[in-house]
Chain A
Amino acid sequence: MSAAPPLGLSILLPILLLAVAWAAVAADVLAAGRAAGRPVPWAVAAVTPAREALRLLVGQRRRTVGGDELLRGVGGAVLPIAALLAAAVLPLGMRPVADLGAGVVWFNAMEVFAWAAVWLVGWGSNSTLSLIGGYRFVAQGLAWELPHMFALITAAVGAQSLRVTDVVAAQGGLWFVLIMPVAFVAFLLSVAAMAFWGPFSAPVGRDVAGGAAAELAGVDRLVFVAGRWLLLVAAAAMAVPLFLGGGHGPWLPAWAWVLVKTLAVLVALVALRHRIPTIRMERWTEFSLVVLTPATIAQALVVTLVVLGEGGF
Chain B
Amino acid sequence: MDLRSALLRAAVGCPHALVVPAPGTDRLRARVEQELARRRWPIASAPADADLVVVVGRPGRELAAVVDDIWVGVPAPRTLVRIADEDEVAAALDGVVRRLADADAQRAAASRSGSRARPPDPSPGGRSHGDGGHDELGPGEHDDHSAHTASDGGHHHHGGGMELPGGLAMADLGEDRDGLALDQLHVSLGPVLPEWPSGLVIDVVLQGDVIQEARSRFLDLDEQGATERLPDAARALDTAARVLALAGWEGPAARARGLRDALLSGADTAHVPEELDDLRRRVRRSRLLRWTFRSAGAGRSEILDALDDVLASAGVAVAGTGEEGHVGIDLATLDARLVGAQFAAARLVVAVADPQPRPAPDLPTAPGGAS
Measured CA separation A51–B14 after assembly (Å): 8
Measured CA separation A57–B75 after assembly (Å): 11
Let me know if B166 and A65 touch, CB within 8 A: yes
Q: Report the interface size for chain A: residues with CB under 8 A from the other chain.
A: 57
Which chain A residue shows the least CB distance to B153?
A65
Let me know if B149 and A129 touch, CB within 8 A: yes
Question: For residue A208, which residues in chain B have a CB less than 8 angstroms away from its CB?
Answer: 343-344
Let me know if B77 and A59 touch, CB within 8 A: yes
Measured CA separation A127–B288 after assembly (Å): 31
A128 within 8 A of B: yes
Measured CA separation A266–B182 after assembly (Å): 42
Measured CA separation A279–B164 after assembly (Å): 36
Q: B142 contacts which of A37, A58, A63, A125 (Cβ < 8 Å)?
A: A63
Q: B248 contacts which of A36, A277, A282 (Cβ < 8 Å)?
A: A277
Interchain nearest-CB distance for A257 vs B (Å) = 32
Interchain nearest-CB distance for B175 vs A (Å) = 20
Measured CA separation A206–B247 after assembly (Å): 9
Let me know if A202 and B344 touch, CB within 8 A: yes
Interchain nearest-CB distance for B171 vs A (Å) = 10
Taking CB atoms and an 8 Å cut-off, the chain A residues in 144-201 that contact chain B are: 199, 201
B316 within 8 A of A: no
Q: Mark A30-64, 1 if CB is under 8 A from B, else 0.
A: 00101111101000100010011011011111111
Let me know if A66 and B164 touch, CB within 8 A: yes
Interchain nearest-CB distance for A87 vs B (Å) = 27
Let me know if B248 and A66 touch, CB within 8 A: no
Let me know if A215 and B46 touch, CB within 8 A: yes
Interchain nearest-CB distance for A143 vs B (Å) = 14
Q: Mark B137-170, 1 if CB is under 8 A from A, else 0.
A: 0001111111101101000000000001111100
Which chain A residue shows the least CB distance to B14?
A51
Q: A215 contacts which of B48, B129, B247, B286 (Cβ < 8 Å)?
A: B48
Q: Mark B1-32, 1 if CB is under 8 A from A, else 0.
A: 00000011011111110000000000000000
Chain B contact residues: over half helix, strand or loop, or mixed? loop
Let me know if A215 and B147 touch, CB within 8 A: yes
Interchain nearest-CB distance for A71 vs B (Å) = 14
Let me know if B250 and A62 touch, CB within 8 A: no
Let me know if A283 and B45 touch, CB within 8 A: no
Measured CA separation A63–B165 after assembly (Å): 14
Question: For residue A278, which residues in chain B have a CB less than 8 angstroms away from its CB?
Answer: 247-249, 292
Let me know if A55 and B247 touch, CB within 8 A: no
Measured CA separation A34–B342 after assembly (Å): 32
Known: A38-B258, A214-B45, A274-B251. A128 touches B11 (CB 8 A): no
Q: Mark A61-87, 1 if CB is under 8 A from B, else 0.
A: 111111100000000000000000000
Question: For residue B147, which residues in chain A have a CB less than 8 angstroms away from its CB?
Answer: 64, 127-130, 214-215
A289 within 8 A of B: no
Which chain B residue shows the least CB distance to A58?
B11
Question: For residue B75, which residues in chain A have a CB less than 8 angstroms away from its CB?
Answer: 59-62, 217-218
Let me know if A38 and B150 touch, CB within 8 A: no
Let me know if B142 and A277 touch, CB within 8 A: no
Measured CA separation A1–B131 after assembly (Å): 52
Let me know if A65 and B46 touch, CB within 8 A: no
Let me know if A66 and B146 touch, CB within 8 A: yes
B246 within 8 A of A: yes
Let me know if A37 and B254 touch, CB within 8 A: yes
A16 within 8 A of B: no
Known: A36-B251, A67-B146. A206 touches B245 (CB 8 A): yes
Let me know if A128 and B185 touch, CB within 8 A: yes
Which chain B residue shows the least CB distance to A32?
B250
Interchain nearest-CB distance for A133 vs B (Å) = 10
B35 within 8 A of A: no
Let me know if B142 and A62 touch, CB within 8 A: yes
Let me know if B195 and A35 touch, CB within 8 A: no
Question: For residue A218, which residues in chain B have a CB less than 8 angstroms away from its CB?
Answer: 75, 140
Question: For residue B252, which residues in chain A have a CB less than 8 angstroms away from its CB?
Answer: 35
Question: For residue B215, which residues in chain A have a CB less than 8 angstroms away from its CB?
Answer: none
A221 within 8 A of B: yes
Measured CA separation A143–B143 after assembly (Å): 36
Question: For residue A205, which residues in chain B have a CB less than 8 angstroms away from its CB?
Answer: 248, 344
Known: A129-B150, A209-B193, A283-B295. A214 touches B46 (CB 8 A): yes
Count chain B CB atoms within 10 A of each CB in A44, A208, A274, A279 and give the residue with the most.
A208
Question: For residue B165, which residues in chain A have a CB less than 8 angstroms away from its CB?
Answer: 66
Interchain nearest-CB distance for B84 vs A (Å) = 26
Which chain B residue shows the least CB distance to A40?
B40
Interchain nearest-CB distance for A155 vs B (Å) = 27
A7 within 8 A of B: no
* Chain A residues within 8 Å of B, Cβ to Cβ: 32, 34-38, 40, 44, 48, 51-52, 54-55, 57-67, 125-130, 132, 135, 199, 201-202, 205-210, 213-218, 221, 274-280, 282-283
* Chain B residues within 8 Å of A, Cβ to Cβ: 7-8, 10-16, 37, 40, 45-46, 48-49, 51, 73, 75-77, 110, 127, 129, 131, 134, 140-147, 149-150, 152, 164-168, 185, 187, 193-195, 206, 208-209, 244-252, 254-255, 258, 286, 288-289, 291-295, 342-344, 347-348
12 pairs from A and B in contact (CB 8 Å cutoff): A40-B40, A54-B10, A58-B8, A63-B144, A65-B129, A65-B145, A66-B146, A205-B248, A206-B194, A207-B347, A277-B289, A278-B248
Those 9 A-B pairs whose CB atoms lie nearest each other, nearest first? A278-B248, A35-B251, A66-B166, A36-B254, A65-B166, A60-B75, A277-B249, A127-B146, A217-B75
